[in-house]
Amino acid sequence: MEDLYGRNVTYLRLSVTDRCNLRCRYCMPEDGGCKREHEDMLTEDEMIMAVSVAASLGVRKLRITGGEPLVKKNILSICERACAVPGITERAITTNGTLLPALAGPLKAAGIGRINISLDTLNEEKYRRITRRGELKEALNGIDAALDAGFEKIKINAVLIGGFNDDEVKDLAELTLKMPVDVRFIELMPMYDSGDFGPEAFIKCDTVLEKLPDAVPKEPDGGVARLFALPNALGNIGLISPVSAHFCGACNRLRLTADGRILPCLHSDDEYRIKGMNEDEMREEMRKAILHKPKWHGEMSYAARTHTRRDMNQIGG
């Protein structure tokens, strides 16, 4: 279905939980953030109904996200049912990877084709610091498990943070020389309460190229990343610049939060509640959300700490 600006909305990001086993500093507060009651959250059946309604409105690509989707007890059942919804042709998940050693194979068997794994640093101590509790080895084991499971595509996502991992751009990019993965650098976005970083933490994605003089431009693959590759690499390097060079004109996304709100834009406070609705009511709300998709996300600045009402774990990224 098209929005008022002629953008065809074909991509749903479904957040199955706002909980996580890590506490990444730019994503959620240390105490886990505001706890919602169980009965306020979407049930598995409501999630599947929402995916099916979205598909009836033209959504073709589904990404399961969170919080950390793999901490959800019924994640395999959700994936299996959501992946089987008629009309959904691209099925992806975003995870911090730490639980993949047990779940990569079952996720693949449930129908997940593509997987994005978050990894901001290759340094153990820095990994502990940014995640407030994680162990690098677990994330790396998760990447190995994803490679073994044979997903169609694996992408590693690193949030670029000045003074934290901008000295690791080359090392992270060189993962594409060692394994068949894309490595994508994402600009740090100002969210609600997360991030005890100063203004220096925001750096434009373009700075990545200064550290990779051998990288050559590649054809776009239909996604929001600008693509480059190192010589003889097995995967691409992607630059995602939502702050310095927004891609709102090409945005084809809707987001559904774990507490049952449709968000037509990641950086707007507009929400359409579908929790507790029947199929027809859900379709009506989803139509409204698509029609009222904002033209662009407005000025965003990490230094000025512009922010929305939700942290990223309560949206899904």
Where on the chain is the footprint of ligand SAM (CB under 6 A)? Answer: 20, 26-27, 65-66, 68, 94-96, 118, 157, 159, 186, 188-189, 191, 312-313, 316-317
Name the residue with the smallest CB distance to ligand SAM: 317
The tokens 């709300």 sit on which residue?
285
* Minimum distance of ligand SAM from residue 287's CB (angstroms): 26
**Comparing C-alpha atoms, which of 117, 131, 209, 132 is closest to residue 166?**
209
* Minimum distance of ligand SAM from residue 242's CB (angstroms): 8
* Minimum distance of ligand SAM from residue 308's CB (angstroms): 10
- Cα–Cα distance, 205 to 161 (Å, whole number): 10
| C-beta separation of 243 from 300 below 8 A | yes
Nearer to ligand SAM, 241 or 252 (CB): 241
Burial of 201 (0-12, 13-18, 19+ CB in 10 A): buried
Nearer to ligand SAM, 191 or 233 (CB): 191
**Comparing C-alpha atoms, which of 46, 56, 26, 311 is closest to residue 188?**
26
* Minimum distance of ligand SAM from residue 72's CB (angstroms): 11
**Comparing C-alpha atoms, which of 96, 40, 44, 93 is closest to residue 68?**
96
* Minimum distance of ligand SAM from residue 251's CB (angstroms): 16
Both tokens of 286, joined, read: 């989803």
Q: How many CB atoms lie within 10 A of CB 216?
A: 12
Both tokens of 310, joined, read: 């939700």
* Minimum distance of ligand SAM from residue 250's CB (angstroms): 18
Nearer to ligand SAM, 137 or 288 (CB): 137
Nearer to ligand SAM, 53 or 156 (CB): 156
Q: Is the dihedral of CA 139, 131, 90, 76 positive or negative?
A: positive
Nearer to ligand SAM, 9 or 22 (CB): 22
Nearer to ligand SAM, 176 or 283 (CB): 176
